[in-house]
Chain A
Amino acid sequence: QVRLVQSGAEVKKPGASVKVSCKASDHTFTNYGLTWVRQAPGQGLDWMGCISAHNEVTTYAQTLQGRVTMTTDTATTTAYMELRNLRSDDTATYYCALTTVGTGWPLDIWGQGTMVTVSP
């Protein structure tokens, strides 16, 4: 079964950008869709958007439009999520997750999460 390994924790200042990576363990990654989800401290899960790994079609949450870009590199089986113009309320754990079962984007394989802290 494919596994996802994310990059390490980040500390950024307001207004900066962060790019989180999510590396899949094998090339079957290109057969699936990948979603980014975040969880702020003490809050629930927040859907950020999704990308089709084989054709890079993306859909972003309206609240993040213009600040987020999701990409994939099929050669290295790595997905990336870049968030720009960071604010304090972007402090959260960011997860990538794959859909390998079903329809409607159920997320059955998750990365371990990446903590991003935005602080002056």
Chain B
Amino acid sequence: QSALTQPPSASGSPGQSVTISCTGTSSDVGTYNFVSWYQHHPGKAPNLVIFEVSKRPSGVPDRFSAFKSGNTASLTVSGLQAEDEADYYCSSYAGRNTVIFGGGTKLTVL
């Protein structure tokens, strides 16, 4: 299994929106509606911001939204704030109780 494909970097100014893509295959993202997204500040544990393609856990602001089309999932962060600067990882269920992560995207708030 190869990692899901994410762009290495993304950026936006405060208040703007940025979208991060996550491309898999018909064996993972394309088949299962079990895509998750994590925000990871270096030195801290990752934080789940989206699960099951587009659901937000309790406490995650609605500035975070996501969807999936075919083999590609996308995370949009709206109204960018300084604290959104972090690494973002997607993951997908890949069958037989296995999960695959994306390579990560470093989001910079300009």
Contacts and interface: CB of A to CB of B under 8 A. Distances in A.
Interface of A: 35, 37, 44-47, 50, 57, 59, 61-62, 95, 97, 101-108, 110-113
B32 A95 contact: no
Contacts, number: 79
Nearest to B46: A110
19 contacts: A37-B101, A45-B101, A45-B104, A47-B101, A50-B97, A57-B97, A59-B98, A61-B98, A95-B45, A95-B46, A101-B57, A103-B93, A104-B32, A104-B35, A104-B99, A105-B93, A106-B52, A110-B45, A110-B47
B101 A107 contact: no
B5 to A, nearest CB: 12
Report whether over half of chain B's contact residues are helix, strand or loop; otherwise say mixed.
strand
Contact of A46 (B92, B97, B101): B101
A106 B35 CA distance: 8
A104 B36 contact: yes
Interface residues on B, range: 20 to 34
Given A44-B104, A45-B38, A46-B101, 18 more contacts: A44-B87, A45-B89, A45-B104, A50-B99, A59-B96, A59-B98, A95-B46, A102-B34, A102-B51, A103-B34, A103-B52, A104-B32, A104-B33, A104-B92, A104-B93, A105-B93, A106-B51, A107-B36
Report whether over half of chain A's contact residues are helix, strand or loop; otherwise say mixed.
loop
Interface of B: 1, 3, 32-36, 38, 40, 45-48, 51-52, 55, 57, 87, 89, 91-93, 96-104
A19 to B, nearest CB: 20
